[in-house]
Every structure is written in C-alpha cells, then in structure tokens.
Structure 1
Amino acid sequence: MKPTEHIVNLDLPPRERWGFLVDYKTELDALLECYLSDFQGAGFEFDGIEAYKNEIISSDYIEEIEFISSISKFTPNEILIANLYYDLLKFYLGCTAFAFETNGTVLHARNLDWWTDNNLLSSQSKIFDYQRNGNTIFKTVGWVGFIGALSGTKPGKFSITLNAVSSKDSAEIAMPISFLLRDILDNATSFNEAKEILENEPIASDCLLLLSGTSTEELIVIERTPKRFATRLPENGIICVTNDYKLLENGESSESELQSTSCSRYDRASELLGHGLPVNSEGCFSILQDEKVMMGITVQQMVFNNHTGQVELIKTGALTTGNSE
C-alpha cells in the first residue's frame, strides 16, 4: 500500500519538490480528470487563464505546476484550473468543522464534504508534510496534484480549515484562497498574523475560515466575501462552522443543496459539543461521524492537534471496513 503521508521539501527548487509524484501518475491523472470534468459539466470556460496565471500566481507555484504537468497527460494551464476548483465551483462542497481547548491543547476537527465518483477523493487523500532543514513547517490534507491548502496546521501556532459559502458579492481577480492558505501556513508566524491576513487580503471568492490557535482566546471563524469580512468568536469555549454566514449579510443568495443542510449540521455538532468536550481525537471523530453531522459525500475526516502538529486522518470510504489512516 502506498503511504498516506509525504514530505514536501521546501529547500528544493520548486520543480523538484513534488518528485515523489512519479509514483502516482495513474492516481494523478485520474484526480485531474475528475476535477476538470466538473468544469465541463458546469459549462465553465476560463479563457483568461494565461493572463490570470501571469498576473496572480507566484513563479514558485507555476514551476511546481509545470513539473506536475511534465509527469501527467494534462497541460500546466489545465492543472492550474484544477487547483482553482474551490474558487470556481465551490457550490459542490459542504463541510463541518469545530475547535476547542482540552487537556492543555487545542483540537481542530473537520469533515470535508465533496461529491466524487468511485470514492476517488477519499481513497486518494494524503497528508503533506512541508519541511525546511528537516523540520516540519506546516502540514496539509489534500490530494496528489493539488498544491494549495483547504485544511492545514502549523505546529505550535495555528490550524486553518476552509468551508464553502456563497454570497452575491462579485468575484475578484485575486489570489485563489487555497494558495493564500498555503502561503499563510508557510509564512505567518502567529495566530494574530494569520488572522490579520485572512481578514484583510483580497481573495477570489466567498469562504468561511475556521482559525484556531493554542488557547481558548484563539478560536474564531472569519466570514469572507472577496472584499468583506466579519469575525465570529466562540461560545462557551467552542467554535463551530458549516456552510452559512452567521454575521455577514449575504445578499439573500439562493442556497445550494449542500448549504440547505448547513444549519442542521451546525446545530447538531454544537449540541454534541455542548454535552461535553471530547478529551481526544477519538471523541472528535465520534462527533464528525454522527449521522446528523456526517454527509453521504464526506470524503475526509481529520483532527489537528495544534500544539504537537499531529494530524489524524480518516478516509471515510474506509469506515465500513474499520480502517483509518
């Protein structure tokens, strides 16, 4: 069985960081085809990808993408479009996340809900350990070919997870949120620095960001549109988020099917946490797997320990066999 966790060596030139992907060519092409087929199904065309790439995307990320293209059957621009999935097609994603302090640490837990055929996104989920000088700088949970971050942790500092939401605010020509999250995980040195960037940096699309640090005072949800933000604080030491704005006026945008379950998932997760905070990751997974919290399209379940940087991941397709990685 191929390993679930891989080191991304940031000391290497960008074209060499993802060299281990040569062992994943089949999985890489299957995943990229999965992403790109959703764009075709949505009738989406991105004629301005070349100009967008040159104006917005860093040279390091472009070089990483060019390497991935060199071992796949897809062009660099197609791989970039696949990496923009959230910003362009976020209505396909759900998600439930929560965080709290317990036993001297902060645990940050999340379900990632994303429709996929053949259990592909679940079975191919991996942990990426980004290192410099042999030391972990941050970790993300994702897939081969995806170089950004939807879920990540910086040991001893903070964790961030992204949930989908929609407003009627216009999209912006700005940094893709998944690339911004990777930048923050790499470069921000504190919870407060990450908070400042997440609140104020122009971004391409709406999102909800659960940011947790190392104490009860460092638990927030940042509600974002491309230009606006509102920051929600915890209640009774607990912060929870699903797929709807609690503070920002969203312009009465129509609900997606995933967003229509948002309030019930939020209420159920909050109820379970209110009965007593879990003391470990097993307790967090129990809440994530509750029948009123977990969706049929949940592909990943994860718990971050913000003090140690430990990441525990369950590929939900394995739940029926009792296996987790």
Structure 2
Amino acid sequence: MERIIINLDKAPSERWHWLKDYKKETNNLLKYYLEDLSSAGIFETYIDTYKTLFISEDYQEEIACVSQYSDFSENQVLITNLYYDALKFVFGCTSFCVTNQKEKLHARNLDWWSENNILGEFTKLFDFQRNGETRYSLVSWPGFIGALSGVKPGKFSITLNAVLSNEAPQFAIPITFLIRDVLENAETFDQAVKMLSETSIASDCLLMVVGTNDGESVVIERTPTAFKWRHPENGQLIVTNEYLALTDNKQTNDTLQLTASGRHRRVQELLNDKTPSSINDYFDVLSDDEVKMGITVQQMIFDPANGDIYLKI
C-alpha cells in the first residue's frame, strides 16, 4: 500500500502539494462525494458560515491547497470533507479489540458503499510527520483531510463507526476533523478520550479508542451533545453500528441496525471460540462471511504500541 508523508512542519497551505500527481484520483473522489451530497441538503450557500464558525484556519488553508490541485472550489472540497456528517447512513463498520492479551491490537472493517470500489482502489496510508518523525498515521484518500481511522505510535488508535440517534444534528465541529485534532494534539489515552467525549460534534458516532496500557480500551457512544463509555467485557471490546449504552438516544428501525446486532454477535462468537494470536487470526475474524459486508472497502489492524498498520483492500 502506498504511503504518503504529510509534512506538518510546512505551512498548512503547502502540505498537500503532492496532490499534483494525483489529480485524477482526487477529482474522481470529490465528484463522487458531491454527487451523493447533492441530495443531502448540503449546499454551498450555507457553507461559508459553517466554515467561519467551526473549521480552523489551518484546515481552511489545507482545503484551499487541495482545491488548487483539483477541478473543484474550496467550498466544494470542504463539503466533501463533511461527507460522514451528511450521509452516515451509507456506512456500516465493525471494530474489535481483545484486551486480555499482552499485545493489544485494534481491528476494523470500514464499510462504505461506493461505485466501482473507488474508495478501496484509491486508499492510501498517510504519515503525518514533524521533524521527520511520524506523529500519527491515517488510512484515508487523496483530498480528504479529516480522519476516520488513525493511530498515534506509542499512544492510542481511533476508529469511527456510524450510528443514528434521535438527537438533532448540531452546528459544531465535524467528527472527522475532531479525530484528527485528537491524533495531533492529545498525548495520552485519557486526553484523547476526554476530547472525544466532551467536545460538541455535528452528528452521532461510535468511537473505539485503544491505548497501550492495561485498561486503555473504550467505546465512546456519542450524540452531538451526549456521551457514554462502554468498557470491555470478558476481555473483549466490540462495536458495530448500534447504541448499547446510550439506549435512551437509540433511533429504532434505522438502516444501520439491520445487520449491526448480528455482526456484533458473530464477532463475539468467533472470539469466544478462538482468541486471536496472530495478525492473520484478526483478519480471519474481519473476513468472516457474517462480519464482512458487501460494502467493506478497507480492513485494517492497528498496533497502538508502535503505530504499525496492517491493511487489506
């Protein structure tokens, strides 16, 4: 898998100049996002106020840099980066961690429908570096500056799963930008969990955070303004696409829940039957016929201790 360095020592307006060699991929991805979002009520007439209130100047400059190497305006690039908050009903996702082992690995399927599997085909690994040292890494795509799945070596890893609550969306920071903020600025597992739990966000989500020390594994169940933590049971921590702690906020009969419970039970069955002892064992769980979905575009395993990423597309 191709790895690309994002140099955080450069000005934000210069960090994405490498996209000049990936213009076709960037344009295809942005076009795909915008076509989907055209039916989600997200229009450029509303984006300027949102950008001023909730998107940092650094991220605005990065968006402008992405725009420079695409055929789309800055506002259009920003709108595509809000994809999760606008269209999270097209996501699935299954994540798990076995916590009663010396080595804690964070396994995750990213389930996201796309035509011609462009999200799988265009996947890249991004290493965000300062002074030549990788501060954190993302599994992502050209033109997307936020984070759905990332790891900070020696500290923690974070993955995002979609969910729907009965709470209305809020004008607040998009969760994918908050995850990147946390990877960049939090120096401990506890700091990361606090930021992800207490910051108001635009829409619902489920966040798995896995640290390097004993007791450092949690699922944060979020609505825009509320949160509850879910901790491992019997040495296992599993998350799909349903609230198990924030049950009062649970929206019934939503599309995300159609397979969520079944996938959760199946992962639990597989872990009870055999505790994974190798990377291949973790991938076997992710690839089980009752866990992996037809829309799975990325399968990944993070090792928070050293920042290693194992990835299948």
TM bracket, shorter-chain basis: over 0.9
SS at match of 1:261: helix
The superposition leaves residues 99-123 of structure 1 with CA deviations (integer Å, 9 ceiling, x where unpaired) of 1247632100100000100110001
Q: What's 2:291 paired with?
A: 293
Residues 93, 164 of structure 1: 8 Å contact kept: yes
SS at match of 2:243: coil
Q: What's 2:160 paired with?
A: 162
Deviation at 1:251, TM superposition (A): 4.1
Deviation at 1:215, TM superposition (A): 3.2
**1:37 correspondence with 2:35:** yes
Q: Distance in 2 between matches of 1:246 and 1:101?
A: 19
SS at match of 1:212: strand
Q: What's 2:118 paired with?
A: 120
> Aligned-residue CA RMSD in angstroms?
1.3
Q: Distance in 1 between matches of 2:163 and 2:21?
A: 35
Matches for 1:85-234 after TM superposition, within 5 Å: 85-101=83-99, 104-234=102-232
Q: Distance in 1 between matches of 2:249 and 2:101?
A: 41
Residues 42, 79 of structure 2: 8 Å contact kept: no
TM-score when scaled to structure 1?
Answer: 0.93
SS at match of 1:90: helix
Q: What's 2:265 paired with?
A: 267
**1:58 correspondence with 2:38:** no
Deviation at 1:250, TM superposition (A): 4.6
Deviation at 1:237, TM superposition (A): 1.4
Relative to 1, partners in 2 of residues 1:219 and 1:252: Cα closer, same or farther, differing over 3 Å?
closer
The superposition leaves residues 278-301 of structure 1 with CA deviations (integer Å, 9 ceiling, x where unpaired) of 122211111000000000000000
Deviation at 1:270, TM superposition (A): 1.2
Residues 105, 215 of structure 1: 8 Å contact kept: no
Q: Distance in 1 between matches of 2:29 and 2:107?
A: 25
Q: What's 1:323 paired with?
A: none
Residues 69, 75 of structure 1: 8 Å contact kept: yes
Aligned length: 313
Deviation at 1:152, TM superposition (A): 0.4
The superposition leaves residues 201-254 of structure 1 with CA deviations (integer Å, 9 ceiling, x where unpaired) of 111110000011013411110000011111001011110000000011354524
Deviates more, 1:48-57 or 1:288-297: 48-57
Deviates more, 1:255-264 or 1:110-119: 255-264
Q: What's 1:322 paired with?
A: none
TM-score when scaled to structure 2?
Answer: 0.97
Residues 288, 294 of structure 1: 8 Å contact kept: yes
Which residue identity does 1:282 align to in structure 2? N
Q: What's 2:255 paired with?
A: 257
Deviation at 1:311, TM superposition (A): 0.6
Residues 163, 205 of structure 2: 8 Å contact kept: yes
Pick one of 10, 24, 30 that aligns with 1:26: 24
Q: Distance in 1 between matches of 2:193 and 2:125?
A: 24
Deviation at 1:15, TM superposition (A): 1.4
Q: Distance in 2 between matches of 1:198 and 1:217?
A: 17
Residues 97, 108 of structure 1: 8 Å contact kept: yes
Q: What's 1:17 paired with?
A: 15
Relative to 1, partners in 2 of residues 1:116 and 1:250: Cα closer, same or farther, differing over 3 Å?
farther
Pick one of 56, 68, 72 that aligns with 2:66: 68
Structure 2 stretches lacking a partner, 5+ long: none
Q: What's 1:318 paired with?
A: none
Q: What's 2:76 paired with?
A: 78
Structure 1 stretches lacking a partner, 5+ long: 316-325
Pick one of 239, 242, 256 that aligns with 2:240: 242
